[in-house]
Amino acid sequence: VGSSPGDAELTPHQEQLAAEDTAFISIQAFPALLDLPQDLEVSKVSCGSRHTAIITRGGELYTWGWGKYGQLGHKDNASSDQPRRVEYLVAEGLRAEEVVCGPWTTYICVLE
């Protein structure tokens, strides 16, 4: 049995790169309950292809999901199954008003 061009095996270097590129994130095809601290009241929500963002009534932004392109706003490319507050906005005294998630991006409108 011969191999076709599409059956090429990965070299050890390619396997390592592929492993580094994949962080396990629990992506569910159906709605799931999410535990947030009790004092948080969600006012806005937006979903990207693999990440989610919410804005609280107090103007804080929380994000979670796939973060490969920095779309979670945590100054890294880490992914997370748990909502994390975007600390940059807090540190800068900015209040999130609107959020729109794209496939690999998150856009927010803020007030000073």
Q: Considering its fold, how many domains does the chain have in total?
A: 1
pLDDT level of residue 9 (50, 70, 90 thresholds): low
pLDDT in tens, 62-71: 999 999 999 9
Say if 28 falls within a structural domain: no
Scanning 32-94, the segments in alpha helix (DSSP H) are 87-91
Say if 17 falls within a structural domain: no
Say if 99 falls within a structural domain: yes
Say if 26 falls within a structural domain: no
Which two three-digit tokens encode residue 99?
């959020």
CA-CA distance, 90 to 59, in Å (whole number)?
A: 9
pLDDT in tens, 50-108: 999 999 999 999 999 999 999 999 999 999 888 999 999 999 999 999 999 999 999 99
pLDDT level of residue 4 (50, 70, 90 thresholds): very low
Q: What is the extent of the structural domain holding 52?
A: 42-111
Say if 34 falls within a structural domain: no
Say if 61 falls within a structural domain: yes
Which amino acid would we find at residue 20? E
Say if 92 falls within a structural domain: yes
pLDDT level of residue 1 (50, 70, 90 thresholds): very low
Contact by Cβ (8 Å): 86, 92 = no
Say if 48 falls within a structural domain: yes
63: Cβ–Cβ under 8 A, 6 or more apart, which residues?
Answer: 51, 52, 53, 54, 71, 72, 73, 74, 80, 83, 84, 86, 106
